[in-house]
Amino acid sequence: MSRRPAKPPTSAMGVFRESPKGGPPTYGYRIPGSDVSGLKGSLIVIEGSDGSGRTTECELLKDYLEVQGHAVLETGLRRSNLVSKQIDRAKQGNVLGATTLALIYAADFADQLENKIIPALSAGFVVLADRYIFTLMARAIVRGATREWASELYGFALRPRLTIFLDTRPEILMHRTFRTYKSLDFWESGMDIGLSRDRFESFFRYQALIKAEFDWMAKEYGFVQINGNRRPEEVHRDVRECVDRITGRTHLESFR
C-alpha cells in the first residue's frame, strides 16, 4: 500500500511528499453515508508532542492562510460534540483500559470527520488539524496495540494533502511544558502504563516510544518532519514553504 510518489521533490527540510490528487480519499474505507468524492478543500495536519510548538504553529498558519483569502476550519483532538466531555472525565479518573480509550478517541475523530471536516472540505475550506489520527495511533501502539490494528481502526480517515511533524527533543518538550503548565502531564508522561514511578524518567521513556512510532509513520504515511527545536518564526518559515506548494504560491511570493 504505497502512498509516496516515485520521485518526490526535495526541500530544505528533506523529502517533501504530498498526497496525490485523484488517489483513494481514505486509508481503506469510508464512514457509511459520507460522500468523500470530489472534495474541493485541502486537509493540512500539524503533528507533534505537547511542547513542540504545534498549537502556536497552527495559529500562525491559520492567520497566514486567511490573509491569502482561504477559509480555514480548525480541528483537533477531543473537539467533537459527541464524546469530548466523556473523554475528559475518563482521563481524570483513569478508569478505562487502553483499548476502550482508543475506541472512544476513534469515535471522537469519526464524529468530527463526518460533521465538521468533510462538510468543510466539500465547501472548499482549508481544514487545519492540530493533531490527527497519527497521534492517536502512536498512543494506542505504545499502550499495546499492534500497528495493523491501529491502521485498521483509522482506515476511514481522509488522507491529508500535507502532514507535518514538528520533531522536538524531549528535554525541550519538558522545558516548554514546565514553562507553560508548571508540571508534566500524567498522560504525556506515560504514567498510566507503568514505565517508571518517577514522572521525569517516565516522560523521557514515553517520548522515546512515541517518537519511534512517528518515525515509522513518517515513512509509511509520507509526511514531512521539521525541526521543532527552533524559534516559532523559524519553524513557521519552513512550514509555509511546504504549505505554499499546496496552495500554488512560490516561496518568493509568500514573502512579498
Q: Which three cell numbers stand for residue 169?
A: 527533543
Q: Tell me the per-residue pLDDT of 14-47, one tens digit each, with 9 for 90 and over.
A: 333 445 454 569 998 887 878 888 899 999 999 9
pLDDT for 15 equals 39
Confidence class of residue 9 from pLDDT cuts 50, 70 and 90? Answer: very low
Q: Give the residue with greater pLDDT, 187 vs 241.
A: 241
Q: Which long-range contacts (CB under 8 A, 24 or more apart) does 215-223 make?
A: 216/147, 217/134, 217/137, 217/138, 218/165, 220/3, 221/3, 221/134, 221/163, 222/3, 222/4, 222/17, 222/19, 222/163, 223/17, 223/45, 223/47, 223/134, 223/160, 223/162, 223/163, 223/164, 223/165
The Cα 159–Cα 18 span in angstroms is 10
Segment 6-13 shows an average pLDDT of 33
Beta bridge partners of 166: 226
> Above pLDDT 90, what percent of the chain?
66
Q: Is 252's pLDDT higher than 80?
A: no
pTM of the model: 0.85
The Cα 26–Cα 30 span in angstroms is 7
Q: Tell me the per-residue pLDDT of 96-151, one tens digit each, with 9 for 90 and over.
A: 788 988 999 999 999 999 999 999 999 999 999 999 999 999 999 999 999 999 99
Q: Give the residue with greater pLDDT, 83 vs 164.
A: 164
Domain segments of the chain as ranges: 40-69+131-255
> Above pLDDT 70, what percent of the chain?
86
Q: Which of 215, 255, 251, 216 shows the shortest CA–CA distance to 12?
A: 251
- CATH class as words, domain 40-69+131-255: alpha beta
Q: Tell me the per-residue pLDDT of 47-70, one tens digit each, with 9 for 90 and over.
A: 999 999 999 999 999 999 999 999
